[in-house]
């Protein structure tokens, strides 16, 4: 054999080897079925695609990082399971319009997904900004019960949200494809064309910078988690043909025929939580999807031996337990039964009844959780780690009081562990909009928008300072507060309401950078006269998304001996705010950060410490009295 023939045979052998490797790499698998859609990025959530917290891009350019407690689930259908408020995959923190991988004139997103919980907004893949009139990029996901495809182009210069005609069933797998060809948006569900829109045309319009995220609806001022699962996501720089979408679905069609991952029978919409704890009583509440009868098992030993029955079937459960022992630990469990006799058993939980006037106790404070379940969840976890006796919430518990999904998903879900063991005493903020949901989800002394409660040797007075209320001396609340404070014999007196009488905020009470400011809400400053008259110790507020502690104030000036301290604690999740460029006379400490406060009280000593959302202390003060 000559050297030339040897070289030829060697070259052929090498070529065959390369072909074999190529065929092996491109062989159809469950995760990458035919046809080849030629994506620019392809994320597959299986053992080959996920290593630790890293998700490989099969196209090699855009690996992602898993966030939160999202877990890779094995089995016949490997997938990423999203359950926590921080779960998702960050592909890029900031993407600029010139990024080579961004589709320009056309795009397609193809995914196998499972939505387990309805939400106002959720996303499978997005790279967008949707901030008021500034609308850029693309996002594919869902809203409430339908799939959505959002897109902005350089022609329209605003986002169009195309919505599927098909309503998804929770817990079922769906093949969703969003296609834009430069002239038309198309949304496919399970291989079939489901909705179209001609509202957009021309190249895609991207923001100067935007995150690229899988499993979250996220831009600079919104971050909504998805509860469910993702098997794979593809991003293509061209418009995938309808026939290819259909063939891609058919290759794994069996997934769509699987039964729902959500078991049949009753389910909690809101898991059991606690309201209005006293020395001898407490209220247990919960919500189920379908009307159920229920029982609350409770007692000082486990399993609990006492039982309170709810015989009338309803979705909202509320049981007031009475004749309890003061300052005592109790176990409790909620058991619900639907009309078919199927039971839902809540997890075993605990609570403490209120102590007497000579006992020590603690409580945490937070405000303005609004719509940020990631931060709210972190703060709630840190508050629970402190094991407080109860929680004070200074209002704006949600961002839109009319949205049921925000109550169930943005407030109660990230606060389950805390609210299930510790009663929360809220005041109503402006974002609640005085909606019926506030009165449905909280059980407070009538009329509920203002009320009083006693804990240990302290009396707490809670007000509604929203604009629809008359806060003047001839108003109902002013008259009530004057009498209630005068009648109080408690050693300590605390008041709280949403809006601050004193604040160093830069623009809520006038533009401090260009003009004057009232340095607080003048509408509620009328109550200051009552606070000073009746020697209130501390007033807690929210509304401004900062932390601020004032010097003791009396008669409009600092009075270290007889003044009232004002605490603004608005760092539970709402977008953080700034301070005026010059200091107000009352400012003692302030910080713009997500945070909560932890207060302890025993006898004549009151102590308050402020912690940021990482658990780091940044302020502390103590008051003492004989």
Same domain, 472 and 374: yes
Task: Indicate if the pLDDT at residue 279 is higher than 80.
Answer: yes
Could you tell me if residue 603 is inside a domain?
Answer: yes
Same domain, 371 and 311: no
Same domain, 379 and 508: yes
Report the pLDDT value the prediction gives residue 15, as an integer from 0 to 100. Answer: 38
Taking a C-beta distance cutoff of 8 angstroms, is the pair 267, 342 a contact? Answer: no
Burial group, residue 198, by CB count within 10 angstroms (0-12, 13-18, 19+) = exposed
Tokens (6 digits) for 555: 């008669």
Taking a C-beta distance cutoff of 8 angstroms, is the pair 403, 409 a contact? Answer: no
Report the pLDDT value the prediction gives residue 20, as an integer from 0 to 100. Answer: 36
Same domain, 514 and 497: yes
Report the pLDDT value the prediction gives residue 222, as an integer from 0 to 100. Answer: 86
Tokens (6 digits) for 237: 């720089």
Cα distance between residue 272 and residue 288, in whole Å: 10
CATH code of 368's domain: 3.60.21.10
Q: What is the pLDDT of residues 441-457, one digit of tens each?
A: 999 999 999 999 999 99
Q: What is the average pLDDT value for the chain, to the nearest integer?
A: 93
Same domain, 296 and 229: no
Same domain, 184 and 244: yes
Same domain, 428 and 395: yes
Same domain, 54 and 152: yes
Could you tell me if residue 289 is inside a domain?
Answer: yes
Could you tell me if residue 9 is inside a domain?
Answer: no
Cα distance between residue 63 and residue 76, in whole Å: 24
Mean pLDDT computed over 433-441: 98
Mean pLDDT computed over 28-52: 80
Report the pLDDT value the prediction gives residue 16, as an integer from 0 to 100. Answer: 36
Residue 18 pLDDT level (bands cut at 50, 70, 90): very low
Of the ranges 162-166, 222-226, 234-238, 529-533, which one carries the lowest mean pLDDT score?
222-226
Report the pLDDT value the prediction gives residue 264, as an integer from 0 to 100. Answer: 87
Cα distance between residue 203 and residue 154, in whole Å: 6
Report the pLDDT value the prediction gives residue 7, as an integer from 0 to 100. Answer: 38
**Residue finishing a domain among 302, 334, 352:** 352
Sheet holding 390-393, edge to edge: 423-426, 390-393, 361-366, 595-602, 605-612, 617-624
3-class SS at 2?
coil
Report the pLDDT value the prediction gives residue 85, as an integer from 0 to 100. Answer: 86
DSSP states along 213-270: EESEEESSS-EEE--EEEEEEEEESS---HHHHHHHHHHTGGGGGSPPSSPSS--EEE
Report the pLDDT value the prediction gives residue 363, as an integer from 0 to 100. Answer: 98
Taking a C-beta distance cutoff of 8 angstroms, is the pair 536, 495 a contact? Answer: yes
Q: What is the pLDDT of residues 314-360, one digit of tens each?
A: 999 999 999 999 999 999 999 999 999 999 999 999 999 999 999 99
Q: Which residues does residue 622 pair with via DSSP β-bridges, in sequence order? A: 607
Of the ranges 14-18, 51-55, 64-68, 518-522, which one carries the lowest mean pLDDT score?
14-18
Same domain, 422 and 292: no
Q: How many domains is the chain built from? A: 3
Task: Indicate if the pLDDT at residue 13 is higher than 50.
Answer: no
Report the pLDDT value the prediction gives residue 518, as an integer from 0 to 100. Answer: 95
**Residue finishing a domain among 352, 376, 392:** 352
| Residue 610 belongs to domain spanning | 361-624
Task: Indicate if the pLDDT at residue 241 is higher than 60.
Answer: yes
Task: Indicate if the pLDDT at residue 385 is higher than 70.
Answer: yes
Closest CA to 123 of 251, 204, 235: 235
DSSP states along 292-332: EEEEEEEESSSS--EEEEEEEEEEEEEEEE-SPPTT-EEEE
Same domain, 273 and 135: no
CATH code of 281's domain: 2.60.40.10
DSSP states along 118-182: -EEEEEEEEEEEEETTEEEEEEEEEEETEEEEEEEBTTT-SEEEEEEEEEPPTT-EEEEEEEE-S
Tell me 411's DSSP state: I
Q: What is the pLDDT of residues 570-606, one digit of tens each?
A: 999 999 999 999 999 999 999 999 999 999 999 999 9
Report the pLDDT value the prediction gives residue 24, as an integer from 0 to 100. Answer: 32
Q: What is the pLDDT of residues 181-230, one digit of tens each?
A: 999 999 999 999 999 999 999 999 999 999 999 999 999 988 889 999 99
Could you tell me if residue 15 is inside a domain?
Answer: no
Task: Indicate if the pLDDT at residue 19 is higher than 70.
Answer: no
Same domain, 516 and 617: yes
Residues present in the chain in total = 626
Task: Indicate if the pLDDT at residue 424 is higher than 80.
Answer: yes
Report the pLDDT value the prediction gives residue 34, as an integer from 0 to 100. Answer: 53
Mean pLDDT computed over 155-169: 97
Closest CA to 336 of 399, 288, 382, 392: 288
Taking a C-beta distance cutoff of 8 angstroms, is the pair 526, 472 a contact? Answer: yes
CATH code of 84's domain: 2.60.120.200
Mean pLDDT computed over 118-142: 94
**Residue finishing a domain among 352, 378, 411:** 352
Could you tell me if residue 13 is inside a domain?
Answer: no
Could you tell me if residue 601 is inside a domain?
Answer: yes
Same domain, 397 and 526: yes
Could you tell me if residue 20 is inside a domain?
Answer: no
Taking a C-beta distance cutoff of 8 angstroms, is the pair 144, 120 a contact? Answer: yes
Report the pLDDT value the prediction gives residue 283, as an integer from 0 to 100. Answer: 98
Task: Indicate if the pLDDT at residue 8 is higher than 90.
Answer: no
Cα distance between residue 344 and residue 354, in whole Å: 29
Cis peptide bond upstream of 313, omega within 30: no
Task: Indicate if the pLDDT at residue 3 is higher than 80.
Answer: no
Could you tell me if residue 3 is inside a domain?
Answer: no
């Amino acid at each position: 054999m000559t050297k030339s023939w040897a070289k030829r045979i060697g070259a052929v052998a090498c070529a065959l080897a390369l072909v074999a490797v190529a065929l092996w790499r491109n062989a159809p698998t469950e995760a990458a079925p035919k046809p080849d859609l030629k994506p620019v990025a392809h994320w597959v959530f299986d053992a080959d695609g996920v290593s630790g917290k890293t998700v490989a891009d099969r196209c090699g350019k855009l690996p992602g990082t898993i966030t939160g407690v999202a877990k890779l689930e094995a089995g016949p259908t490997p997938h990423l399971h999203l359950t926590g408020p921080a779960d998702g995959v960050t592909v890029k923190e900031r993407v600029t319009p010139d990024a080579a991988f961004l589709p320009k004139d056309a795009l397609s997103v193809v995914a196998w997904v499972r939505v387990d919980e309805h939400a106002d907004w959720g996303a499978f893949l997005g790279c967008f900004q949707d901030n008021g009139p500034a609308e850029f990029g693309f996002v594919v996901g869902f809203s409430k019960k339908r799939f959505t495809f959002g897109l902005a182009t350089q022609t329209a210069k605003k986002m169009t949200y195309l919505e599927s005609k098909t309503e998804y069933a929770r817990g079922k797998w769906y093949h969703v494809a969003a296609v834009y060809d430069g002239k038309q948006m198309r949304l496919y569900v399970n291989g079939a064309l489901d909705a179209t829109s001609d509202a957009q045309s021309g190249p895609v319009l991207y923001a100067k910078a935007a995150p690229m995220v899988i499993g979250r609806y996220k831009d600079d001022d919104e971050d909504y988690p998805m509860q469910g699962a993702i098997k794979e996501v593809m991003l293509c720089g061209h418009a995938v043909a309808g026939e290819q979408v259909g063939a891609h679905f058919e290759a794994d069609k069996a997934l769509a025929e699987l039964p729902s991952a959500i078991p049949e029978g009753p389910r909690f919409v809101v898991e059991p939580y606690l309201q209005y704890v006293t020395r001898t009583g407490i209220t247990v509440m919960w919500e189920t999807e379908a009307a159920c009868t229920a029982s609350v098992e409770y007692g000082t030993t486990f399993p609990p031996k006492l039982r309170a029955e709810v015989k009338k079937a309803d979705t909202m459960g509320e049981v007031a337990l009475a004749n309890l022992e003061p300052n005592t630990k109790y176990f409790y469990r909620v058991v619900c039964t639907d009309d078919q006799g199927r039971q839902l058993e809540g997890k075993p939980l605990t609570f403490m009844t209120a102590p007497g006037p000579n006992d020590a106790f603690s409580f945490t404070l937070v405000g303005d959780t609004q719509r940020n379940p990631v931060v709210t969840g972190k703060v709630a976890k840190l508050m629970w780690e402190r094991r407080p006796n109860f929680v004070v919430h200074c209002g704006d518990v949600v961002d839109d009081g009319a949205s049921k999904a925000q109550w169930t998903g943005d407030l109660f879900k990230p606060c389950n562990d805390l609210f299930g063991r510790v009663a929360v005493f809220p005041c109503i903020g402006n974002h609640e909009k005085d909606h019926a949901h506030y009165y449905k989800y909280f059980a407070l002394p009538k009329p509920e928008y203002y009320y009083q409660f006693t804990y240990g040797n302290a009396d707490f007075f809670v007000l509604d300072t929203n604009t629809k209320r008359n806060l003047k001396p001839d108003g109902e609340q002013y008259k009530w507060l004057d009498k209630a404070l005068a009648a109080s014999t408690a050693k300590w007196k605390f008041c709280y309401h949403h809006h601050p009488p004193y604040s160093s905020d830069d623009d809520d009470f006038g533009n401090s950078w260009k003009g004057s400011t009232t340095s607080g809400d003048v509408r509620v400053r009328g109550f200051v006269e009552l606070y000073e008259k009746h020697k209130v110790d501390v007033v807690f507020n929210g509304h401004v998304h900062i932390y601020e502690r004032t010097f003791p104030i009396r008669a409009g000036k600092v009075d270290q001996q007889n003044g009232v301290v004002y605490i603004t604690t608005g760092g539970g999740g709402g977008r953080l705010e700034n301070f005026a460029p010059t200091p107000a006379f009352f400012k003692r400490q302030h910080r713009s950060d997500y945070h909560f406060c932890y207060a302890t009280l025993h006898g004549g000593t009151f102590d308050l410490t402020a912690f940021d959302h990482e658990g780091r202390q940044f302020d502390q003060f103590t008051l003492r009295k004989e």
